[in-house]
Structure 1
Amino acid sequence: MNGRPLAEEYEGYNKAYVELVPDCNIKDYLGKQLDDMTAFLSEIPEELGDYSYAPGKWTLKEVIGHISDNERIMSYRLLVIARGEQQVLPGYDQDPYMATVDYSGNTLGQLIEDFVLARRASLSMIGLLSEEAMLRTGTANGRVSVRALAYILAGHAQHHWNGIVSNYLK
């Protein structure tokens, strides 16, 4: 599907994520982003995995794990809204999720592979959706279209990729 989502297809707090993604064929973009992110993350030395750039900030492993969690949550929302779900979907607060997970026993490679698998599942599902399904809307932390959720997936990953560059690899 080509075309950036319209402002009315998502809540304002997602604008920053949507704006990180060019007007494009979103499936192609998500695939290229997967390849580029995987190559980039694979070059990071393992010893940086447990690094946190400031007290109270996530470790690099936690950031990568969070990207995968978000991928799955947004993909679930994307699927059920594409299928016509009109019930309000549950909210998602990243902080309680992260408070219950310990990635220190995992390698960066394991967490990168987990992201790869999550993104591939998203790509497979998005590739099966019709143009009509991409424009369906539902409620998940406000009204949102399937197309906007695909852009939010890409923008969220890009947001954290930018953060890794600026905060973890200085």
Structure 2
Amino acid sequence: MTILDLQQDEYLPYFKGYIDQAEGVSLLSGLESSFKTIHSFYLSIASEKLEYRYAEGKWTIKEIISHLIDTERIFCYRALRFARQDKTDLSGFDENAYVLASGASERSIADLLEEYTLVRKATIALFKSFSKTVLISNGIAGSGSVSVRALGFLIIGHEKHHVNVIKERYLE
């Protein structure tokens, strides 16, 4: 299953940019390969860059990693609820408030990457457990409808988006 299988009504237009970042990969192989590539990328970043902010009020690289971990957990929670046919509308979340409360700056990169690894392994296991029928299940999250499979592709694309931001604004 690739993003070519997604219908536009499976996610909000706001998420199209993230979905497009997952182009060319299948869902499970994309989750697995992006983990390997991006984990190595995080390890390659010089330690002095991990606390760098390219402008006032912008997140550090450690905070971005923490944000990606939190967002992946939230997207998986949504996917699980929808996969289990829970029709409760789920609220959105304030990513800026989450980052402020994360304590990412006090954590080591090794600790953040260990958590990232465990979360991604759990994500892969969760999505492996879903049948094709379950993957097209949907529900309301935030301000609109999203399918289980779109949430998986959002995890991949959202992370690629932030890695591109790191490369362009933090490492050049």
Shorter-chain-normalised TM-score: which range?
Answer: over 0.9
Aligned match for 2:148, one of 146, 149, 163: 146
CA contact (8 A) 1:46 1:107 kept: no
CA distance in 2, matches of 1:12, 1:69: 22
TM-score normalised to structure 1 length: 0.96
Unaligned runs of 5+ in 1: none
Alpha-carbon distance in structure 2 between the residues aligned to 1:70 and 1:10: 16
Instruction: Name the residue aligned to 2:166.
Output: 164
The number of equivalent residue pairs is 170
1:53 is aligned with what amino acid?
Y
Alignment of 1:1-170 (within 5 A): 1-4=1-4, 5-141=6-142, 142-170=144-172
**1:20 counterpart letter in structure 2:** Q
Q: Distance between the aligned counterparts of 1:136 and 1:53, measured in 2?
A: 40
* Cα gap change, 1:83 to 1:50, in 2 (>3 Å): same
How far does residue 112 in structure 1 lie from its aligned partner after superposition? Answer: 1.7
The amino acid that maps onto 2:121 is: R
Higher helix share: 2
Aligned-residue offset at 1:68: 0.4
Q: Secondary structure at the match of 2:104?
A: coil
TM-score relative to the length of structure 2: 0.94
Give 3-state SS (helix, strand or coil) of 1:143's partner: strand
- Name stretches of at least 5 consecutive residues in structure 2 with no aligned partner: none
What root-mean-square deviation, in Å, do the aligned CA atoms of Structure 1 and Structure 2 show?
Answer: 1.1
Aligned-pair CA distance for 1:2: 3.9
Asked if 1 retains the 8 angstrom alpha-carbon contact of 2:22 and 2:156, the reply is yes
Quote the offset at 1:111 in angstroms. Answer: 1.1
Question: 1:117 & 1:154 partners in 2: Cα distance?
Answer: 16
SS in 1 for 2:106: coil
